[in-house]
Each structure stands twice: as structure tokens, then as C-alpha cells.
Amino acid sequence: MSVNKSKYLVIGSGIAGLSFALKVADSGKVNIITKSKMNDCNTSKAQGGIAAVISENDSGESHKKDTMVAGVGLCHDDSLDALVKEGPARIKDLIDWGVKFTKQDDGKYDLAKEGGHSYGRILHATDATGMEIEETLIKRVKNHPNISIFENRFAIDLITEHQVQNNLQSAFNICFGAYILNMENKKVDIFRANYTMLATGGAARVYLHTTNPEVDTGDGIAMAYRAGVRIANMEFVQFHPTALYDPKNEPFLISEALRGFGGVLRNGNNERFMKKYDNRLELAPRDIVARAIDSEMKRNGSDFVYLDMTSLESKEVKKRFPTIFKHCSNYLNIDITKDMIPVVPAAHYICGGIMTNMKGNTSMHNLYASGETAHTGIHGANRLASNSLTEALIFSHRAAMKILKKGYKEEFDNIEIPEWKEHGEQNPNEWILTKHNKQELQNVMWDYVGIVRSTTHLNRALRRTKMLYDEIEDYYNRTNIRKDVLELRNFTTIAYLIIKSALRRKESRGLHFMTDYPEKDDNFFKDTII
């Protein structure tokens, strides 16, 4: 077992982790851990763009109001102030690092409009914004002499005072790094750090249908929960209204920007149905559009609805959405300028996560969180489109500035961290157990903890999740460490947190809709904290 020491340990390689690493790297060594390749993350998949007020026709007050309306009043006021005041400066950071956003013919940035926004304030790089940002940040971190990158590494658990062998009573509620599985040699190493940043992305893979890449299994949130860190608002799972309906392949996101560009939703009878649900039509917030689609599918007994772009200028659609045009053509032989696009809601984003303060601190000393892993208070009960990348930049920056200003006390540098001990033996004949348990868990979450919920269904899901947890924990404790088992263990933790949080909120608000509590209740005008 090797011990890797650094001033900073960053777990995750999306916009949150990489921007934090760049901000702190001049002050000390940074180790970046990612469980796949660097660009295998949610950031790379982001199509729509990143929201900030840079137009003189727009205002911070409008952006703040739009975010609060989408979040159904549950957004934190101080977090929203940071969003609108600091967003433009963080966008400038990206531009200074080399990110190239799409411009109009007059040289001004092309600002798209998406659901819930009053003005065009979405900067984008055609329809591959996340990939442009990710590739630029990867290039920057690879060229920094103080940053080391470790791919194909799986973070198993945080190292706290509970693991150290010569712990002093003063070392309480402190993170010292993490145990990391090297998936190439199957060894577990110690990554020791003064500061640990969890930027592990989302957890929507716990659902059967999701837009998230395979790596997003809620690892950071699950690790933090096991370490006793406070978790909040896990009941608010955002279902993106429009994932491409393509059962034979991995889900593919059909960006909200298509609706912002003029696309309309139609049911199987060719009816434009959003007028029945909200006067903002296709540009209503995501929770409303997703429930509307869900209702139309159930009413008509269909597996999908359609997004219609056929009345729009063909040349402009191809220019604005080249990635989506190519994907639909290659996988379904659809020309989106002539054919309607079959779409279905899919689990997309976790609005809750690891609770942080305004500086990115979690409830554990020296442990920070940013990006979708974190709950900062910006999103409330429903995330406004394209606020997520902005949030990640702002809170990674704030965490970096807090640490750089604070400095580090060397009082715990002599602690002894024990080597990781394998639990048991490898049993290749039981691999089928993890596959079946994963499928069962994802089906339970989709069927009982989805867009529309009830107390009866949630309790049924909780019973099944507890049973699965016992099976998986038993298997984990008697077999050697393996990626699929680790992910499944984290899956069950995430499912438990979502279900428990949902049972505590006896109202309907934003993304959390309960048939037995269909109205908002001001008694629940607060975060759900576990």
C-alpha cells in the first residue's frame, strides 16, 4: 500500500473539482482523483450552457427572482446573492482560461433563453458547452506543475479520526483524506491531504432512466453520509423533461435550449399540450414540464411524447445544435429539422447533497464539497436551467479563497493511518448478485420514488431498499474490494437518503410531488436535513 501526501485532495474531475484545483495549485501540491478518464463526467455532457447576467438588458434581480421562482421559495437568499453577483466574474475566469463561447456576427456573446429564465442569459458553445469547458480545464490542470492526476481510481471512504491509530482527543470530526482503490492493480492506497474537496458529481444513476453517465453513482454523498456529514434535500431529484427515447442505447439528453429556440412539445395526437399546464408553455420550469409529460404519457398510454422543431429554420437548427442533430441521425435515423424527436423524462440532477456553508465547508473540518455533490442552497426545490455550472464555479472559488486566506495548522501531521484491510475473498461466481440487485434497486426507485410519489409507494420502496442494503452490505463485508460492489453499496445509500427525505416532506413542492399531500405547506418551508 502506498501513501500519497498532498496539501489538497480533489475527488472528481468535472468543473467543480478542476476549477478548485486551478485556484489552489500555486499554494501547494494537488492530487486529483477520478474513477474513469478525466473527461468522463457530467460536465462533459452539459449541452445547454452556463447562466450569468452579462447583458445590459438583464439584471441580477431578475436572475435571482427566476431562480427563486423555480426553486419554489426554498432557495437560500445569501446563496442567490452570490450567484448573481459573482457569476459574471467566474464566467470571466473560464474565458481567461481559454473557454470559447459562441458569439453572434456582431462579436457579442450569443445568449440563449431556457425554461424559467426571463431573459437570454445562457452562454454556450453551440450545444457542447460542457465539453468545451471540460477540455479547456483538463488542458490547464495537465500543464500545472503542482497538479497530479490519478485516473481509474475509486474513492472508497473518507479517512477521519475514527481510523487513525494514535488519535488525540482534540482530533474530532476531521477529514484527513481518503482510501482510494487503484482499479488497475486492485490495491487500496492512502491519499492523505490537509484539505479534501468532494466534487464527485451527481447520483441520478440510481434511477432506471437517467441522463447521467455511468460514473455518477453518488459516491461522494454516500462517503460523506457514512462519515457522519450532514446531508440535505435529497428528496428533490430533477427529472429532465426531454431525454431522447431510445431504449436500445444509453439515454441522450435533448437540451432545454431546443425549447428555448422555439421547439414545441406534442403528444401522440399531435396536440401541443403544454398550454393545459402552464402559461409559460414549453419554457415553464423543469418540474412542471416533466409532470406534464408524465401526465400526457399516462393519459394516452404512450412511452414518449414528441419535441417538434420542424417549423423552425432548418439551417439555423443544424448550426445551433450540431451534436444533437448528429446523434439523432446516427442512432434513430431522424432528421430533427424534418422529423419530430421522441422524448421522455429521465432522472437528471440531485438538488440536494452534502450541506455546505457559503465557503464550501461541510459539517466536517477540512472537508469541502462543490458542484452537484453539494447542497449550497441555490437550487431550492427545483434547479433553474444552466445554474449548475455557475454554482460549481462560484463555490469552488469561494472554498479556494477561504483556504488560501485561512492557512493550515500542522498539529495533526504525525497521525498514523492504518493500511486498508481486505474484507474477504474474491468470489467470481457471485457477480450476478450485484447485477440483479442493481437492476432491482433502479426499478424500485423508478416505479416508487419518481416524478409522482405517495406515502404508500415510498414506504414500499424503503422496505425493499433496506432488504437490498442488508444483502449488499453482507456481500461487501465478505468479498474483496471491487468497483461494482462499491458502486452498488453507494447506490443503496443514495436510495435510502432520497426515500427518507421524501417521507419527511409531507407536502408537494417543486420536484417533490406527493399525491396524498398535493399542496404546498409552509410548515415545510425549510431544508430536509439528515
Question: Are 282 and 212 found together in one domain?
Answer: no
Give 42's Cβ-side CA count (13 Å radius): 28
Q: Is residue 398 part of a domain?
A: yes
Q: Is residue 119 part of a domain?
A: yes
CB 320 within 8 A of CB 286: no
User: Higher confidence at residue 307 or residue 431?
Assistant: 307
Which residues touch 81 (CB under 8 Å, ≥6 apart)? 64
Per-residue pLDDT band for 115 (boundaries 50, 70, 90) equals confident
Quick one: what percent of the chain has pLDDT higher than 90? 79
Q: Is residue 152 part of a domain?
A: yes
Element containing residue 485 per DSSP (H, E): helix 483-504
Which residues touch 351 (CB under 8 Å, ≥6 apart)? 233, 236, 237, 238, 375, 379, 380, 381, 382, 383, 510, 511
Per the structure, the complete domain to which residue 491 belongs is given by 428-524
Element containing residue 386 per DSSP (H, E): none
Question: Are 20 and 168 found together in one domain?
Answer: yes
Q: What integer is the mean pLDDT of 117-127?
A: 93
For residue 262, what is the domain's CATH number? Answer: 3.90.700.10
User: Higher confidence at residue 171 or residue 484?
Assistant: 484
Distance of alpha carbon 244 from the chain centroid: 19
Per-residue model confidence (pLDDT) at position 162 = 86
Cα(58)–Cα(119) distance, integer angstroms: 6
Catalytic residues: 286
User: Per-residue DSSP letters for 9-70?
Assistant: EEE--SHHHHHHHHHHGGGS-EEEE-SS-TT-SHHHH--S-EE---STT--HHHHHHHHHHH
Per-residue model confidence (pLDDT) at position 422 = 74
Question: Are 365 and 303 found together in one domain?
Answer: no
Question: Are 166 and 105 found together in one domain?
Answer: yes
Of the listed ranges 143-147, 215-219, 236-240, 417-421, the least confidently predicted one is 417-421
pLDDT in tens, 1-58: 688 999 999 999 999 999 999 999 999 999 999 999 988 888 888 878 999 999 999 9
pLDDT at 430 exceeding the cut of 80: no
pLDDT in tens, 290-336: 999 999 998 999 999 999 999 999 999 999 999 999 999 999 999 99
Question: Are 135 and 255 found together in one domain?
Answer: no
Question: Are 264 and 328 found together in one domain?
Answer: yes
Q: Is residue 393 part of a domain?
A: yes
Per-residue pLDDT band for 410 (boundaries 50, 70, 90) equals low
pLDDT at 433 exceeding the cut of 80: no
Q: What is the pTM of this model?
A: 0.92
Question: Are 305 and 278 found together in one domain?
Answer: yes
pLDDT at 169 exceeding the cut of 80: no
Per-residue model confidence (pLDDT) at position 2 = 85
Which residues touch 323 (CB under 8 Å, ≥6 apart)? 47, 126, 127, 128
Question: Are 22 and 168 found together in one domain?
Answer: yes
Question: Which of 346, 362, 388 is the C-terminal boundary of a domain?
Answer: 346
User: Per-residue DSSP letters for 421-452?
Assistant: ---S---GGGHHHHHHHHHHHHHHHHHHSSSS
Regarding beta strands 3-11 and 30-33, do their DSSP bridges make them parallel or antiparallel, or are they unpaired? parallel
SS3 assignment, position 210: strand
Question: Are 55 and 145 found together in one domain?
Answer: yes
Cα(368)–Cα(382) distance, integer angstroms: 23
pLDDT in tens, 53-102: 999 999 999 999 999 999 999 999 999 999 999 999 999 999 999 999 99
Burial string for 94-103 (b: 16+ CB within 10 Å, else e) reads beeeebebbe
CA-closest candidate to residue 391, choices 30, 28, 43: 43
